[in-house]
A and B are shown apart, each in its own frame.
Chain A
Amino acid sequence: MTDATHGTAEPAEPRRRKASLYASDAHTRRRNAAEKRFRAYGIAAIAIGLFFLLVLLVTIVRNGTPAFTQTFVTIEVALPADKLDKSGNRDIEEMKKVSTFGYAPLVDDALAEALAQAGIETPFANAKDLRQIVSASVAAQVRDAVLADPALVGTSHEFRLLAASRVDGYMKGRVTRESVARDKNISAEHLDIVDQMIAAGLVERRFNPGFVFGADASESRPESAGIGVSMLGSFFMMLVVLALALPIGVAASIYLEEFATQNRFTDLIEVNISNLAAVPSIVFGILGLAVFIQFAHLPSSAPIVGGLVLTLMTLPTIIISTRASLKAVPPSIREAALGVGASKMQTVFHHVLPLAMPGILTGTIIGLAQALGETAPLLLIGMVGFIASNAPASFADGFLAPNSAMPAQIYEWAKRADPAYYERAWGGIIILLVFLMVMNIIAIILRRRFERRW
């Protein structure tokens, strides 16, 4: 106070005394202008940030939402007993001998029949040529349905079959008559038929649960590719990370923060943990490859290895945030507990840890979210490029059977040539972001819930 007035006040003293409070002097005006300018900078910075966020969100939603819908062809498929169950006793083992090649003609015929019923003319003499309208996976779909319910044999059943990716692209505006001119997968005539099928209500675009819950498919069948199995891969990896990184990280932090004496050695550990947090994730990837796969002979592409690698990556994050929240607990609480004769450990577990819990949980969830979105280390342990076509058969398989992970799956799709996969990559990003958002919301809720410091 005295310092502030001494510098300027001495020469200005008489003038100051006379100045009215209603009139602001030059100094005040300048200060106010600077303050106003600073606020404007702040608002501009936030506006720029929001603008980019908006652009990002709009782009993601615009590109990604089409992936959640898919074009389906709904037709009645006749399932003749003489073709599907020659022995006639509905023996599953017997029926399994009929491969998808046996089912494909049934679908062709059903298509031709449906077109005829709807009065749609086809330029194709052979029903087999209609096959390009539907996905290559439909024969398998029909076969699976029959094997699941042998009673269907001998009847005629309505199926909702996946349309071919090109037809789906046509519905979504990705494929046009010009673009199919040199495409041997589909022709303009097929599109004409599709137009009429739409009019007849045989073809429609609707929500596709297969994208969210299904498995990845081969390069040529984008319409049946889903992110579900790699989601499971991510899930099992996160289980590993949570089960390892949380206890190890919290135990290490508590030891370093509350028990370890400050010396060179603990300083060294401290510096190294901070450094570890800055190590690029790909380094952890190659470490995982060398240690877990080549040395420890864990299966490659397995979520357990991915989880171990991501644990290494997440540990520093958890340790740093846990230590910060332990540090934030006022020392007076520790003194209070020690003062009534609590041991060091009782002090930590009864008083310090509960107060640090919100911070620890937040740090853990942020660490998990980071790990969930991490792709680079997965490249090196073979979780990218692997086509996870089946959900793990058991809980143990979830950890040990080769799988992919959500970000790896997205990367894989983005890499594939077919533009239909590009759309799926965007769709996958929406799902990934939803997961991250849910995790962040959980972090916020947990923080609110535990943060009753009174």
Chain B
Amino acid sequence: MKDNMEGRKLVDQMDVKFQTRDVQVYYGDTHAIKDVNVDILDKTVTAFIGPSGCGKSTFLRSLNRMNDTIPIARVEGKILLDGEDIYDPKVDPVQLRAKVGMVFQKPNPFPKSIYDNIAYGPRIHGLARNKAELDDIVEHSLRRGALWDEVKDRLQEPGTGLSGGQQQRLCIARAVATEPEVLLMDEPCSALDPIATAQVEELIDELKQNFSVVIVTHSMQQAARVSQKTAFFHLGNLVEYGDTDQIFTNPVDPRTESYITGRIG
């Protein structure tokens, strides 16, 4: 497996977005992530699957240094974004997060208007020079979030007044609006009904044309539907990483197989 990965690394060098080497994450004394080595590709949807508590969110959050906000969290090892170590002291985590956007498990729109929800990121990063440009960004982002047609007539209404599925698409549009290179999604559909889930999945499929998308999911069907690469985590270890088709049809590790067939819950 290791040889396999090394080989691909050489071939796809240009397409690798994130490279992680021997990443360890600790919460105080808890060793939540152990020796994780993974290459996350550009313009690809990568799914993180695994039983709950195995560290999927923890690892995801270390990719945009969201773990910095947890005082007891500690990250070791190397995480390279386009070859640059994101934990280098010279790196400003705020700058990193503008490049690596995030969508959370529970839709969390700002208690502001739909427009301001989208416009906030571009505003603080100075992406628009004037109101017209900002309007463009808002429309474009909402279109990418597959929400434009539903909200175009009520941009000034509160984002929190939307339905759960719409809120999550608003959050995705908000993340997209800052023009990130990678989009991290932590169980983005777990609070949504099947119809909203289908909409978001369709959206993810479109987003991969421009971004590298990493999605944590506890639904294997979802992973199979949306992702091209799948990483299976178990007890803090990355057990298996490979093409989604291969993981689901022909897993190498017995633990992966047990999980996929429903024997590890």
Measured CB to CB, the residues of A under 8 A from B are: 261-262, 330, 332-343, 346, 350-351, 355, 452-454
Contacts and interface: CB of A to CB of B under 8 A. Distances in A.
A389 B175 CA distance: 65
A338 B66 contact: yes
Contacts of B237: none
Interface stretch (B3-11, B27-35, B101-109, B209-217): B101-109
Contacts of A332: 104, 106, 108
B108 A346 contact: no
A383 B94 CA distance: 52
B94 A454 contact: no
B158 A341 contact: no
Contact of A341 (B108, B171, B178): B178
A340 B97 contact: yes
A327 to B, nearest CB: 15
B234 interface: no
Given A340-B178, A341-B95, A454-B161, A335 B66 contact: yes
Contact of A453 (B94, B111, B125, B174): B111
A322 to B, nearest CB: 19
B1 interface: no
B188 to A, nearest CB: 12
A337 B120 CA distance: 9
A336 B66 contact: no
Contacts of A338: 66, 69, 94, 97
Contacts of B71: 261-262
B110 A351 contact: yes
A314 to B, nearest CB: 29
B36 to A, nearest CB: 22
- Give the dominant DSSP class at A's interface: helix
Given A262-B71, A341-B98, A335 B108 contact: yes
A261 to B, nearest CB: 6
B124 interface: yes
Nearest to B118: A340
A454 B94 CA distance: 28
Given A339-B175, A452-B111, 6 more contacts: A335-B66, A335-B104, A336-B174, A341-B95, A341-B101, A341-B124
A337 B174 CA distance: 10
A351 to B, nearest CB: 6
19 contacts: A333-B110, A335-B102, A338-B69, A338-B94, A338-B97, A339-B66, A339-B97, A339-B102, A339-B104, A339-B175, A340-B124, A341-B97, A341-B99, A342-B94, A342-B121, A343-B94, A346-B124, A350-B124, A453-B111
B197 interface: no
B27 to A, nearest CB: 14
Contacts of A343: 94
Contact of A336 (B64, B108, B158): B108
A336 B64 CA distance: 13
A350 B69 contact: no
B218 to A, nearest CB: 19
B160 interface: yes
B222 to A, nearest CB: 21
Interface in B106-144: 106, 108-111, 120-121, 124-125
8 smallest beta-carbon distances between A and B, as pairs: A341-B98, A454-B158, A340-B121, A332-B108, A339-B102, A341-B97, A336-B108, A454-B160
Contacts of A355: 111
A261 B70 CA distance: 10
B109 A339 contact: no
Given A261-B71, A339-B97, A333 B178 contact: no
B104 A341 contact: no
Contacts of B124: 340-342, 346, 350
B168 to A, nearest CB: 12
Nearest to B65: A338
B125 A333 contact: no
A336 B109 contact: yes
A305 B231 CA distance: 67
B101 A339 contact: yes
Which of B99, B102, B110 gathers most chain A CB within 10 Å? B110
Given A262-B71, A335-B66, A453-B111, A341 B106 contact: no
Nearest to B98: A341
B106 A336 contact: no
Given A454-B158, A454-B161, A340 B108 contact: no
Contacts of A330: 108
B155 to A, nearest CB: 14
B109 to A, nearest CB: 7
A343 B69 CA distance: 12
Nearest to A355: B111
Which of B64, B69, B171 gathers most chain A CB within 10 Å? B69
A263 to B, nearest CB: 9
Contacts of B120: 337, 340, 342, 350
B119 to A, nearest CB: 11
Contacts of B109: 336
